[in-house]
Amino acid sequence: MSAVAELGDKLAKLTIAEAVELKTYLKDKYQIEPAAGGMMAPPVAPSGPAAPVAEATEFNVVLEGVADPGKKIGVIKVVRELTGQGLAEAKATVEGAPKDIKTSVDKKTAEDLKKKLEEAGAKVSVKPA
């Protein structure tokens, strides 16, 4: 059995009190803090190669505004279609940009929505959720 597997087995058997004690020890001795979700994350080293960043799997499609004021009505129609909003709500969304149009969608969906909005005349950005 590898050292990593042995360590993993030991960590899995920790009680809550022992896990809290481990968290405190790692924080005090090595400045390692738990990340969101309870996973332990090492501090960022000022030198050396950068660690690979996990690629986002969920994205928000954000309406930044209308690229061409003459196409505002078309953008409102697409916003209504994508969000299910009524005419007044969609108009307020477009006029109050930047506004989230869809949140926590996969990359392909986000890119498809962006394309559809841009074709209607909107300025759109896709940001990790």
pLDDT at 108: 92
Domains of the chain: 3-41 (no CATH), 59-128 (3.30.1390.10)
CB-CB neighbours of 79 under 10 Å: 24
Location of structure tokens 């209504």? 80
For the entire predicted model, the pTM comes to 0.56
pLDDT at 45: 54
* Those residues with Cβ within 8 angstroms of residue 2's Cβ, 6 or more apart along the chain or in another chain: none
Beta strands in 35-98, from DSSP E residues, in sequence order: 40-41, 59-66
pLDDT digits (tens, 9 = 90+) for 23-40: 888 888 888 876 655 555
User: How would residue 97 be classed by pLDDT, with cut points 50, 70 and 90?
Assistant: confident
The DSSP bridge partners found for residue 122 are 66
Backbone angles phi, psi at 61, to 5 degrees: -100, 120
The DSSP bridge partners found for residue 59 are 105, 128
